[in-house]
Structure 1
Amino acid sequence: MHPIECNPAPLNLELFCRELIEEFSAVQTTGHQIVFICQSHNTEALMDEQLLHYMFINILSNAVKYSPSGGTILFDLTCDPVAGVSIFCIQDQGIGIPETDQTRLFESFYRASNVQSIQGTGLGLVIVRRCVEAHNGQISVVSQIAVGTTVTIVLPLNSEPLLNATID
């Protein structure tokens, strides 16, 4: 088990997401378009930028990997200061995940039954979940075959790090 340290610092989430998408788009060669929508005026938060970077690069990489070339990926950010949360949704129009596989997505080395010909380790979402948990957040996945997948991450705007977030 390897501990994941969460070191929250002040962060403008809108600026962070825009820069991350720009960085990601500069290196991906599949022609996917990432459309970013920020539905909030105040996106200031206290989060670990390094963990967020890992989480969203992994999710965007999956969206690109499992979607047809040239497709559109939606990245939506909403901050709710009253509820004290930020909500990140990344939606692709890819192959989707079979319903029978969806309950096992966060198990180490597990890969959905319809992706055996696509390279991967089965560890990405496990680590993403640990990063989310280190922020005291939640992650959910909704998917439909041949329609696509939506990953939603809800994080407190002012994350209090967990002391013992580990990777199994």
Structure 2
Amino acid sequence: MENAALLNAIIANAIDGIITIDNRGCIESINPSGCKLFQYTPEEVIGKNVSMLMPPPDKEQHDEYLARYQRTGQAHIIGIGREVKGLRKDGSIFPFRLGVSEVAYSGRNIYTGFIHDLSREKEAEEQLKEYAAQLEEQVAERTQSLQRLVQALELAKEEVSESLEKEKELGILKSRFVSMASHEFRTPLSAVQLSASLIEKYALSYGNPNISKHVGKIKNAVGNLTAILNDFLSLEKLEAGKVEPAFSSFDLVKLAEEITEEMQLLAKQNQNIIYQHTGTQHMVRLDQNLLKNCVVNLIGNAIKYSGENTFIEFNTEISEQGCQVTIKDNGIGIPETDQKHLFEAFFRAHNTGNIPGTGLGLNIVARYADLMHGQVSFKSEVNQGTLFTISLPIL
């Protein structure tokens, strides 16, 4: 009795479905897992032919097996591990692995079916096949795209080889391309900037803060793209040796005040640029455009890398030793390990995060200062801010 109770408990708690049928195919018992798989109660299936749980053509084949047994007295025993389909009460069909064993009991034969649901495995297989097919399709597309690209590159290489005989001429072509690309990009960017400004103006009457917010994002994105184009064009000109300083006399204080006014418009909320000049002399003889580019770049960095509600100190000084321009912020600072690489092209400090930039600005500033026979130095601490100094001789 104890063994029988243990056996019943094992069958009742089995993960797989277990069904017993007699030699006529009628169901004698079904465990809870089998009921759950087929969505029937024991009362609905016990005494019924097991073919009620089979979809076509398995149902017809089972009837043929029974007919053969009735004619010949020999049962058709299904091998272990066969994959078949099951028919649920709601009409849905699912795959399962069927194992059948024959047991002689009390002078008669009983057939026990062990049913292991394969729905998840089949779904996983189908997903894997689908992913594999998608991957093969993507690989084929990428391969074709790569082949087209290689062909285009080979064709371009041949065309360039035919038209350019020297490396110098190739450099000229690159220079023309950068200039053309910069020009072609600037035109639509200017149009986008103008349209954004007009949208902002027309939207004032609606009083919708979301419009101003998104227009501001457009303006910032256009400004970032324009700055990137300017950096690349400046670098290309420097590399090509096209930048020659044009020294002239001008009022340094007037230039600095103009720059302060322009950059204040780009500052963050409650971010103030404080300008101060030391000395009674205002006139210098330098390249005004190169100096302005240097100062705008450094103040732009101070704005980017400092938070709201901060001050940016912008100072100029003219003395017998020369001209000095300093820009000081209270921003994120530059890690000590990065400082030795700061003026390298395309280098950005590791703490800049998602703040946009090309890593070209300081390289350009240093090279512009060098063209004016000056130099750039800095002092910085992380989270304490940075002080940049441009030292230039008075010619």
Q: Give the whole-Å Cα distance in 1 for the aligned partners of 2:331 and 2:266.
A: 20
CA displacement 1:102-137 (0-9 Å, x = unmatched): 110110100001013211100000001111000000
Q: Who is 1:104 aligned against? A: 341
> Residue 133 in 1 paired to residue 370 in 2?
yes
1:30 and 1:51 map into 2 onto residues whose CA distance is: 29
Contact 1:30/1:64 (CA < 8 Å) preserved in 2? no
Partner of 1:78 in structure 2?
317
CA contact (8 A) 2:297 2:365 kept: yes
Higher relative contact order (CA 8 A, sep 6+): 1
Amino acid at match of 1:139: V
CA contact (8 A) 2:376 2:389 kept: yes
The Cα offsets for residues 35-90 of structure 1, whole Å up to 9 and x where unpaired, read as 1111111021111111111111110010000001121000111111x22x101110
1:15-46 deviation digits (Å, cap 9, x = unpaired): 11011111111343443101111111102111
- Indicate the larger mover: 24-33 or 11-20: 24-33
CA RMSD of aligned residues (A): 1.1
Is 1:150 aligned to residue 368 of structure 2? no
TM-score (norm 1): 0.89
Q: Does residue 28 of the first structure (1) align with residue 267 of the second (2)? A: yes
- Which structure 2 residue ranges, 5 or more long, are not aligned? 1-238
Alignment of 1:24-103 (within 5 A): 24-80=263-319, 82-83=320-321, 85-103=322-340
Which runs of at least 4 in structure 1 moved beyond 4 Å after TM superposition? Answer: none
Higher helix share: 2
Indicate the SS of the match to 1:102: helix
Matched, 1:119 2:356: yes
1:9 is the counterpart of 2:248:
yes
Q: What is the rounded CA distance, in whole Å, between the counterparts of 1:28 and 1:73 in structure 2?
A: 10
Give the structure with higher Rg (CA).
2
Structure 2 length-normalised TM: 0.39
1:103 aligned counterpart, secondary structure: helix
Over the matched positions of the two proteins, sequence identity in percent amounts to 35
SS in 2 for 1:116: coil
Distance, in Å, in 1 between the alignment partners of 2:384 and 2:267 is: 22
Please give the alpha-carbon distance, in whole angstroms, between the structure 2 residues aligned to 1:149 and 1:102: 11
Q: Aligned partners of 1:38, 1:127: CA distance in 2, in Å?
A: 25
For residues 152 and 10 of structure 1, the distance between their equivalents in structure 2, rounded to whole angstroms, comes to 21
Matches of 1:97 and 1:145, distance apart in 2: 5
Q: 2:377·2:389 contact (CA, 8 Å) conserved in 1?
A: yes
* Structure with the higher fraction of residues in strand conformation: 1
